[in-house]
Amino acid sequence: MEIKYTIQGLLIYIAIAAYAVGFLLAIFRIKKVAGFVYFLGFGSALAAFIYRGLHVGHIPMQNLFEVFVTLGMLVYPITLFSRKVLRVPGGPGDCADMLIGIIVLFPAGFVAKFSADPQQLPPALQCWLFAPHVAVYMLSYMIMAKAAFLAGARIAGAKPAPEENLLAYEDATYRMVCAGFPLLTLGLILGSWWGKLAWGDYWGWDPKELWSLVSWLVYLGYFHFRTMYGKKYPKANSTLAILGMVAIIITLLWVNLSKLFPGLHSYA
């Protein structure tokens, strides 16, 4: 845990604060103000992204700190894209995306391990595939998180406001999973390619790899099940989408936080 007393840090904290205020306002159904505060948060996150880019002189996606800043900036465009293009609602109260924004910016702002200092990477991590591998995964995780939230709304029996002409939650979940799955696949394959370059094997059976395979397989199962039964069992579909997210959370956190499994992925 650390506080960053820099302009970079300040911009990140403003963005986190704005997302948090927006989230609370959305919960209390003060929708318009919430949307405006969310937009302000995006402005600050965008400023943090541009500031970082100018500061280091490259697209800020070369280490985990930069990846989290980038994701924090991307939350708002994802909201817009899923609403305007995919016709996917924001879930009850439209607050899910702001929560996701807080979650992805938190490590950039407070976790000392994801330092803003230029990092001295160990030899195995110095590969151009590092940033795309991580970035693609993070983006897909954000999209899948939104899908899981929508799936939860479907299980709870909620329905989006009819006047907005958006998809019902089951269809919305499917569309989000469709948007995220290619990224999840790409992350798996980029990682595999990198593994071949760095360790000589495209697949090492290490716990983190296996958990990422599990999350991929759960979504694969989701697609096959939905192909078989369509919307006949909406709750089963939604449960699978949530299970996918559970597997992702395990992939992302459990393997790192607990020292339960020995493995190669000790950096991330």
Task: State the minimum distance, in angstroms, from the CB of residue 7 to another protein.
Answer: 22
Task: State the minimum distance, in angstroms, from the CB of residue 84 to another protein.
Answer: 13
Closest to another protein by CB, 88 or 99: 88
Closest to another protein by CB, 1 or 228: 228
Residues that bind another protein (CB under 8 A): 120-124, 126-127, 178-179, 181-182, 185-186, 189, 192-193, 196-207, 210-211, 213-214, 217-218, 220-221, 224-225, 227-228, 255, 260-264
Closest-CA residue to 104 (of 140, 75, 131): 75
Task: State the minimum distance, in angstroms, from the CB of residue 142 to another protein.
Answer: 16
Q: 164 to each of 84, 168, 258, how far by Cα in Å? A: 11, 11, 44
Dihedral through CA 97, CA 64, CA 188, CA 219, nearest 10? -20
Pairwise CA distance, residues 41 & 100, whole Å: 13
Pairwise CA distance, residues 169 & 149, whole Å: 9
Closest to another protein by CB, 13 or 261: 261
Task: State the minimum distance, in angstroms, from the CB of residue 201 to another protein.
Answer: 7
Closest to another protein by CB, 11 or 252: 252
Pairwise CA distance, residues 158 & 94, whole Å: 12
For residue 121, what are the contacts with CB-CB under 8 A and spacing of at least 6? 63, 130
